[in-house]
A and B are shown apart, each in its own frame.
Chain A
């Protein structure tokens, strides 16, 4: 970053009890190939700074695109003005402890940058991937979409923090839609995401995925509707990641439990008293906050307040141990949390976000899980998601499913959905896949907070088997 961060901070001559500046610069590229043709490519270069002041126990914020000394000074004055008015109505009483000293740097491990030649090749790969999806005249549209974001953040504070983090994050979404009679089916790669350089968009992988979804969309057009009955369900990581996100991640965010999100994203069925006591899932369930897997979306060294991120068990042997709460939430709730205060960019303040939240691998092979099922279904790739504001009653739809009868996969079915209640569902977990079934997924777009923020999260998980789930198919 071209700013002299420390000098900018000093030149504020801040009168606040504590002062920090978070600089963020992001360069994001989007390429979208539809039916073998490149739509207008997009690049967004976004930069600015958030000035934070702690006055009388409360943090106030001012965001500015002008990172010159004068621009930051103006933002500082804005933040101090807000602090003055807000102090009569403050909810919290924070101290410098919620902004620990942090120094050092983190960078996404990567082999290649996406340069001009790389873009040219990538476009060709996306064109070829959509070509591979053209498996029949019944195919209506073929999409290959990628995002590639490079984010630099630099953070300095009056308590001596000075750190930099450089993230390179990627998304690739391939999808194909086909029609037969009145029936329309879509099959996709479920959105691949992860931290890496341009090598993330591997040509062989894109072509293989394009070919596979092109074949499977036809398979879906010929498939029967998913049956409606209560049965065993095996969820592939391409679906399970979102089940983790919605029904473990969000309800365990401490700021939700404290009611900050009640007017927008919602509250939580979990209470502060539940930590250390609640049997959240069966004894096979082990969930970690793990910022250390190098290629997962939300691996980092520090959160946006300077708290050091390390691996922690959130749920161990099914029991709820700690919450997804930042130092601010921990001081309010008096329970253990993790380093998860993050902001979407320079224009929003940090708050509790889930980062990487994973199910630790178990011991079963996928084959063993399938053969243990008398009557059940294996569901793959999330298509639809919905859950109530307390995170109890969920419903998910998947793109692709296979019936399991007497320990064997027998046929493909379309429009698979399932619904359930959070803790009964996790307590019905009866098989956890081993390392060989472990996959890294995540999302670019988790939405939360007022004002609204999206954040990038990672979820890695093996295949898992659940008993007695309410399964149903599409419209009659």
Chain B
């Protein structure tokens, strides 16, 4: 069996060859960017501390961004890693793009490929068999009711264009995203993530969750709808930031009228001066290059002391709107490596500073209830407690909140924790996603629960 390093080296070589051959067949006025998304992943889906489904996935896709005759087209196809087969498919794909470029109308604001810079980064281990970990997972969870997903493997993100620009990024990691349950269906959520499985760390992680679960066995507290002082743990804050990432920081979303942060962008509203948010690629969650191989700066200030400093903008949007500057953003103009800066609230002081109110570990299923005004709704989930005079009284039944972001990050924000936690990207729609965010906890006054 080949190690991940060998397989990835072989794929790099073949990707280079495919690109070279494809670029050599372009005519003088045509240009093209080729992007690669590739992975080998083991997924083991767990329920009741047993395996429900296990799947090995080997998948790779290339996308061409083809420009000719003032037309731009995107086409993508599956790679099999057989050079003959893949080159044949790629030629057909380019040929169909060429034909369609003749019949389709002109594309506005095309950004022609350029050779800005190249990069090559492999963050790899020498593992050949990630299945062996499966046995290790189960030892400390016997007698515990656990559900979740073990994900392990490597991913590649790469692109090249016919002007000679080349970017390559690969990384190898695992995560066990899980929750454990009491007899009365109360739950605690956690995630054990890393690059090398360490049995002691895994056992400690489970013990920690189990300890939290014991607090969920306290009597359930009946909390009526209303406004409560609330501690939002990092995972809950990350959900709010995820929702804001849906158009909130995007230059084009703002220009087209669907930014939930319109009033912040226009300076009509402000967040608390405690709030600073940056896009920080030095955190290593994802590559600095975007789908066109444009490279972002290491750190970009998005919000500084409550005021918006920069929108997230790709070069196409910048070309369309003269007053926006490109930040080498991706297609959806979201934050790819968010860092919410910490404050002064120590972990040991969270409950006493909260006093009486709600401790919310996780939020779930957020959506806008009035998007242009930055108002959102969602549910509490997993380990959420009613706290009285700094003491946990017991878990709550799930509550619905409905609040504007200007209350949560603004007028009602009391304190930010002096620590933050990495929220690894665990999405796998289509393929395994990469990325992450580093987020602290927030103490908020008068957080509105409506159901």
Contacts and interface: CB of A to CB of B under 8 A. Distances in A.
B32 to A, nearest CB: 12
A389 B398 contact: yes
A45 B56 contact: no
B149 interface: yes
B377 A390 contact: no
B328 to A, nearest CB: 18
A123 B73 CA distance: 14
Contacts of A120: 103-104
Nearest to A41: B73
A446 to B, nearest CB: 11
Given A388-B379, A395-B369, A37 B108 contact: yes
A61 B52 CA distance: 12
Interface in B105-164: 105-108, 131-132, 134-135, 138, 147-149, 151
Contact of B60 (A65, A119, A392): A65
Contacts of B52: 91-92, 260
B181 A262 contact: yes
B80 interface: yes
Interface in A262-296: 262-264, 266-267
A304 B302 CA distance: 46
A43 B50 CA distance: 40
Interface in B52-88: 52-61, 65, 72-82
Contacts of B41: 451
Contacts, number: 257
B99 interface: yes
B56 A475 contact: no
Given A66-B81, A90-B50, A264 B73 contact: no
B187 to A, nearest CB: 7
B378 interface: yes
A237 B427 CA distance: 31
Contacts of A264: 149
B147 A262 contact: yes
Contacts of A452: 427-429
B96 A46 contact: no
Contacts of B73: 40-43
Given A263-B149, A388-B365, A85 B93 contact: no
Interface in A186-201: 186
Interface in A161-191: 177-179, 182-184, 186
A347 interface: yes
Interface residues of B, number: 92
Interface string B328-370: 0000000000000000000000000000000000001111111
A419 B400 contact: yes
B78 A65 contact: yes
Contact of A43 (B76, B105, B368): B76
A60 B52 CA distance: 9
A259 B48 contact: yes
Interface SS of B by simple majority: strand
Contacts of B53: 59, 61, 349, 351
A262 B47 contact: yes
Contact of B258 (A123, A186, A260, A453): A186
A409 B370 CA distance: 24
B189 interface: yes
B24 interface: no
B237 to A, nearest CB: 18
A40 B398 contact: no
Interface string B233-273: 00000000000000000000001111000110000100000
A198 B284 CA distance: 45
A60 B106 CA distance: 48
Interface string A333-352: 00000000000000111010
Contacts of A123: 104-105
Given A395-B369, A475-B370, A475-B373, A116 B78 contact: no
B299 interface: no
Interface stretch (A12-20, A75-83, A207-215, A432-440): A75-83
Contacts of B106: 37
Contact of A417 (B56, B132, B369): B369
A263 B57 contact: no
A81 B47 contact: no
Nearest to B129: A81
A16 to B, nearest CB: 14
A62 interface: yes
Contacts of A385: 367
Contacts of A364: none
Given A259-B48, A263-B177, A450-B43, A386 B100 contact: no
B310 interface: no
Contacts of A68: 80, 82
A64 interface: yes
Given A65-B60, A419-B451, A452-B429, 12 more contacts: A48-B59, A63-B57, A63-B59, A68-B80, A127-B105, A186-B258, A386-B366, A386-B367, A388-B365, A421-B451, A451-B45, A452-B427
24 contacts: A37-B107, A38-B107, A41-B73, A43-B74, A43-B96, A62-B58, A63-B55, A82-B55, A82-B131, A91-B52, A127-B105, A184-B258, A184-B262, A186-B258, A259-B181, A260-B147, A263-B148, A347-B57, A386-B366, A388-B381, A395-B377, A397-B369, A452-B429, A453-B429
